[in-house]
């Protein structure tokens, strides 16, 4: 019985079981709907096509998903039968659905919703989400075909229920009249394709409430979709079989309520199934079976013979030439080739081509955009080594650093966009306020046009893919100016993007990568609709000045000087490992790297000793040899800056207490490597504690109280990120909440960036604006506010008579009363004012005398 399995104290459960009994006790010839045995929040339904319409005689199946707080929030609806009015396996937009919670009334029920759905069938779609506008003749053909068989969807339990409902509806819905009979046709629309698209069941499905038999006291939100092609596994012990006789099924509500399962069996099957489900879903999200592979020519980037030998370094001239960008391996100084430094006219031409492509791409579906992401994801997973080797050769980082900073971050962003991207770009409905109750207010997100990005060299793969993914998924094109220090890898990574775009039939020139120097970047800023910049504060200021000429929006990510605070109640060896990783990742060349270490005086000595022990074990050398922990410094001149910062600190009393080592790299490679260095006795008069180092240096300073730690951490012109470690989560959060920065990690470092739903960015010299997350995705959009009449054309906007031109002499009196009626703090004052408003409206209006006050 229901009381034995479900938490009957839960109002949603009580309401749903009540509606189930009413549905089965009062049968209808126009529809039937029943919940799944294993999840009463999911109902399968079938409706009969409305009479005297092109849908007459049709049987249309679908799914209703009830929210956890039903009936206080509306359900979602999805059609499964091709019909020509609504898309299949897409949550459709109706005034009674979850797209319009402002319209929903708790007194409404599943029965109410089905009656409304039937009424909506013959109405005009008006461009609503999930709507179709097939010709009348096409809809009649689909109505005939809908009777032949129930749609195939989901698990065996779902399918059995769908088939039984279909048999019931066949008896209730007479066939199409003889005059309307149409020969069978083969359905090849996108709707039928969607029925087998795993994305509709996994990636594109939002999390829905699911009550599990293993726990009768709580309601958890879990995805409960199963791909139509997958073998369904029962999530709990077998319950009573669903009756195969349709009449018996409909007349016995208790047969549709699952029986109590054996607790001992559930204790075993629930965690096993939960883990298996999670793994299967994860794999299906990553690589659905229908994702094509792409071929990318990498023959010219695979020659790494020079990095298999030591003592093979080559002296090089300056990278800068007037018309060329020279490319070299930082780890070996091997010459990689050159790329053109584009002139302003060439940049404008590339942007113009991207603009043409964007106008086409703006009309693409989210389904097509998701396929682009899946193709990229599949290629990345299958070619991790190639991607990391290219990054390693162009920037000097190790393969492990490349995997962490290039592969994982990019895959995380793609999977987040696949699962949530469309959700955050859909129209968002807002409240209308008291004076506009007759209106519907919404926010629409439209593409901006051509996004420009100027990105840094430290993570060439991710720095290209990060803005590109957000721009393209939101319907824009993008032109990316890569750093002169990472042009070789950037141009190769473009091939991957172009191949994936070609595989889905996207327009050419949708994504462009350009190479050059300052004038190339300046021309890009002057030509695009938004600019995203990742780099130094100095260049960021120049970009802002240039962007002011065209007044385009700007997002600046300008690096940081992140504080790493360690309280006395931590596990020192554990935190020391995190500290070293935070400082040495990619040889310290991270905008969000740990650069200032503040450690409580009680554990200062032990923490320093632990860090020194780890750092002394670190060896730097050519990364592709596979035997070094840390790679090279990307730019020769940067090693000189690092040494200058260290020398300034030493001159002011600091002390080096530990350094890593550099391998046998040859005499000509001195400037390409900087050994990891631990420095103590530092203070804020030293440049090392004020300027962004961007290198493998760990300056460690002690503090005595939490207040002092906060004061020291905030004593910086940067404000990107921070990390706070304490045995007390509450204490760590209290400290982090007082730090003036855009990103905070509690008992971890830089984990925020792996949560791609979160925005990323800082304050002060760390820049402004956000990329990543919902905020970063929407920042690529024109955000448009739209207000329309809620009950058009029954109720239309009309100017009240007292303030119509010519304005009546009581016009201001009317306005005073209206303001009081709408916003008065006392209910009685508001009622009295409302009476006054009605009186004034009913009075005969007299045009005001020109001398009277308006």
Q: What is the DSSP letter of 391?
A: H
- Parts of the chain with a pLDDT under 50: 1-3, 178-281, 283-286, 305-317, 667-668, 670, 851-854
Is position 789 within any domain? no
pTM (predicted TM-score): 0.67
Distance CA 670, CA 668 (A): 6
Residue that is written with structure tokens 């040859």 in the block: 666
Distance CA 22, CA 109 (A): 10
Of 557, 579, 597, the position where a domain reaches its end is 557
pLDDT of residue 333: 82
Distance CA 54, CA 177 (A): 11
pLDDT of residue 510: 98
Domain of 549 in residue numbering reads as 321-557
The span from the first CA to the last CA of the chain, in angstroms, equals 70
Same domain, 540 and 596: no
CATH number of the CATH domain containing 575: 3.40.309.10
Distances (CA, A) of 358 to 221, 240, 344, 470, 538: 38, 56, 21, 14, 31
Same domain, 577 and 518: no
Same domain, 111 and 255: yes
Same domain, 118 and 72: yes
Is position 781 within any domain? no
Of 226, 261, 285, the position where a domain reaches its end is 285
Same domain, 381 and 453: yes
pLDDT of residue 303: 61
Distances (CA, A) of 701 to 50, 597, 615: 76, 6, 17
Of the CA atoms within 13 Å of residue 800, those in its CB half-sphere come to: 18
Is position 295 within any domain? no
Distance CA 45, CA 61 (A): 6
Q: What are phi and psi of 659, to 5 degrees?
A: -140, 150
Distance CA 694, CA 558 (A): 12
Of 541, 557, 573, the position where a domain reaches its end is 557
Residue that is written with structure tokens 């023959």 in the block: 299
Q: Which residues pair with 533 in a beta bridge?
A: 454, 556
Is position 372 within any domain? yes
Orientation angle between helical segments 487-503 and 460-473, nearest 10 degrees: 30
Candidates 164, 422, 557, 610; catalytic one:
557
Same domain, 571 and 547: no
**In the annotation, is 557 catalytic?**
yes
pLDDT of residue 69: 81
Same domain, 223 and 75: yes
Is position 272 within any domain? yes
297: number of Cβ within 10 Å: 9
* Largest Cα span, the chain: 99
Enter the tokens of residue 11. Answer: 């109002």
Residue that is written with structure tokens 């779902």 in the block: 158
Is position 41 within any domain? yes
pLDDT of residue 25: 80
Same domain, 125 and 162: yes
Is position 311 within any domain? no
Same domain, 398 and 532: yes
Same domain, 547 and 688: no
Same domain, 464 and 594: no
Is position 654 within any domain? yes
Enter the tokens of residue 844. Answer: 């005969």
Of the CA atoms within 13 Å of residue 299, those in its CB half-sphere come to: 2
Q: Nearest CA to 405 among 348, 464, 346?
A: 464
Same domain, 547 and 575: no
């Amino acid at each position: 019985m229901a009381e034995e399995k479900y938490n009957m104290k839960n109002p949603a459960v009580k309401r749903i079981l009540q509606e189930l009994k009413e549905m089965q006790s009062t049968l209808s010839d126009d529809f039937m709907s029943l919940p799944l045995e294993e999840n009463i929040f999911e109902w399968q339904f079938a409706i009969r096509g409305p009479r005297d319409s092109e849908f007459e005689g049709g049987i249309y199946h679908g799914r209703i998903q009830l929210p956890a707080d039903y009936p206080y929030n509306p359900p979602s609806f999805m059609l499964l039968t091709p019909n020509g009015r609504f898309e299949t396996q897409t949550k459709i937009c109706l005034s009674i659905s979850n797209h319009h919670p402002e319209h929903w009334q708790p007194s409404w029920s599943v029965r109410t919703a089905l009656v409304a759905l039937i009424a909506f069938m013959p109405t005009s779609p008006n461009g609503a989400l999930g709507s179709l506008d097939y010709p009348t003749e096409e809809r009649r053909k689909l109505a005939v075909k809908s009777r032949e068989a129930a749609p195939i969807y989901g698990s065996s339990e779902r399918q059995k229920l769908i088939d039984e409902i279909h048999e019931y509806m066949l008896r209730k819905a007479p066939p199409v009249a003889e005059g309307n009979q149409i020969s069978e046709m083969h359905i090849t629309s996108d709707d039928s394709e969607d029925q087998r698209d795993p994305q509709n069941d996994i990636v594109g499905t939002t999390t829905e409430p699911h009550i599990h038999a293993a726990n009768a006291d709580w309601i958890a939100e879990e995805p409960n979709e199963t791909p139509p092609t997958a073998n369904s596994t029962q999530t709990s012990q077998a319950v009573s079989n669903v009756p195969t006789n349709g009449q018996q099924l409909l007349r016995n509500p208790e047969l549709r309520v699952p029986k109590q399962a054996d607790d001992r069996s559930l204790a075993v099957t629930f965690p096993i199934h939960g883990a298996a489900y999670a793994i299967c879903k994860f794999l299906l999200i990553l690589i659905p079976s229908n994702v094509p592979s792409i071929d990318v020519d990498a023959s010219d980037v695979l020659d790494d013979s020079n990095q298999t030998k030591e003592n093979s370094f080559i002296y090089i001239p300056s990278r800068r030439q007037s018309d060329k960008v020279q490319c070299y391996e930082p780890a070996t100084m091997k010459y990689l080739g050159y790329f053109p430094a584009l002139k302003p006219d060439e940049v404008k031409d590339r942007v113009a081509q991207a603009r043409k492509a964007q106008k086409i791409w703006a009309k693409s579906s989210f389904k097509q955009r998701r396929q682009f992401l899946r193709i990229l994801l599949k290629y990345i997973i299958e070619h991790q080594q190639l991607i990391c080797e290219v990054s390693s050769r162009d920037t000097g980082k190790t393969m492990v650093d490349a995997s962490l900073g290039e592969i994982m971050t990019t895959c995380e962003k793609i999977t987040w966009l696949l699962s949530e991207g469309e959700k955050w770009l859909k129209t968002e409905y807002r409240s209308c306020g008291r004076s506009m109750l007759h209106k519907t207010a919404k926010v629409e997100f439209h593409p901006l046009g051509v996004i420009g990005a100027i990105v840094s060299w430290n993570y060439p793969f991710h720095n290209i893919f990060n803005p590109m993914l957000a721009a393209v998924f939101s319907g824009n094109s993008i032109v990316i100016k890569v750093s002169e220090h990472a042009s070789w890898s950037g141009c190769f990574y473009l091939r991957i993007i172009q191949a994936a775009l070609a595989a889905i039939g996207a327009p050419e020139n949708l994504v462009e990568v350009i190479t050059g120097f300052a004038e190339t970047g300046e021309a890009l800023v002057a030509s695009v609709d938004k600019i995203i910049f990742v780099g130094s504060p100095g260049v960021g200021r120049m970009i802002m000045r240039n962007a002011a000429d065209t007044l385009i929006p700007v997002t600046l990510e300008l690096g940081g000087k992140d504080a790493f605070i360690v309280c006395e109640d931590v596990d020192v060896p554990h935190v020391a490992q995190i500290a070293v990783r935070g400082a040495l990742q990619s040889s310290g060349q991270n905008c969000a790297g740990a650069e200032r270490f503040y450690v409580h005086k009680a554990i200062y000595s032990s923490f320093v000793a632990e860090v020194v022990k780890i750092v002394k074990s670190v060896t730097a050398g050519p990364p592709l040899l596979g035997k070094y922990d840390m790679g090279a410094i990307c730019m020769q001149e940067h090693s000189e800056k690092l040494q200058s910062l260290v020398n300034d600190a030493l001159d002011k009393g600091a002390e080096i207490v530990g350094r890593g080592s550099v391998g046998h790299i040859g005499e000509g490679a001195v400037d390409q490597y900087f050994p990891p260095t631990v420095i103590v006795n530092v203070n804020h008069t030293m440049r090392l504690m004020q300027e962004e180092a961007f290198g493998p240096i760990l300056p460690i300073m002690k503090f005595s109280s939490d207040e002092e730690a906060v004061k020291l951490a905030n004593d910086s012109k940067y404000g990107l990120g921070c990390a706070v470690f304490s045995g007390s989560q509450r204490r760590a959060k209290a400290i982090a909440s007082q730090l003036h920065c855009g990103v905070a990690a509690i008992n971890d470092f830089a984990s925020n960036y792996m949560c791609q739903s979160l925005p990323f960015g800082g304050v002060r010299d760390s820049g402004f604006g956000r990329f990543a997350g919902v905020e970063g995705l929407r920042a690529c959009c024109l955000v448009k506010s739209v207000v329309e009449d809620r009950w058009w054309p029954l109720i239309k906007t009309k100017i009240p008579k007292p303030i119509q031109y010519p304005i009546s002499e009581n016009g201001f009196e009317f306005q005073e009363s209206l303001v009081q009626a709408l916003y008065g703090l006392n209910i009685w004052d508001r009622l009295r004012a409302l009476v006054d408003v009605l009186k004034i409206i009913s009075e005969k209006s007299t045009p005001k005398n020109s001398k009277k006050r308006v």
